[in-house]
Amino acid sequence: LTQIRMKEVEPEMNKLKTEIKKSEGRIEHWNKEKADLLEEIKKNPFHYSRQRNEKIKELTASIESEEKTWLDLQSQLEKIQKT
């Protein structure tokens, strides 16, 4: 990127980088929450419940959705960096 072009796209790049970090934080949080629930069930199978199962499904869907968002943000950032 040229110096002039860099100054033009820097605010947009910084915004995308911030959104990517936020997305990574959400994915990390949800993965930990899901792992904790799965570990709890593993330690004590009698703790299994429909509510926990639904929560695990919700977390899985949220993680998958957020991963798509993250990939889209990364793609946008790479596109800007290549121009």
User: Looking at residue 8, what is its pLDDT?
Assistant: 84
| Most trustworthy range by pLDDT among 1-5, 9-13, 79-83 | 9-13
Match 């199978």 to its residue by tokens: 45
pLDDT in tens, 11-47: 999 999 999 999 999 999 999 999 999 998 888 888 7
Question: Could you tell me the pLDDT band of residue 69, with boundaries at 50, 70 and 90?
Answer: very high
* CA 53 – CA 66 distance, rounded (Å): 20
SS3 at position 25:
helix
Question: Could you tell me which of 80, 78, 82, 70 has the C-alpha nearest to residue 10?
Answer: 80
Question: Could you tell me which of 68, 76, 71, 63 has the C-alpha nearest to residue 15?
Answer: 76
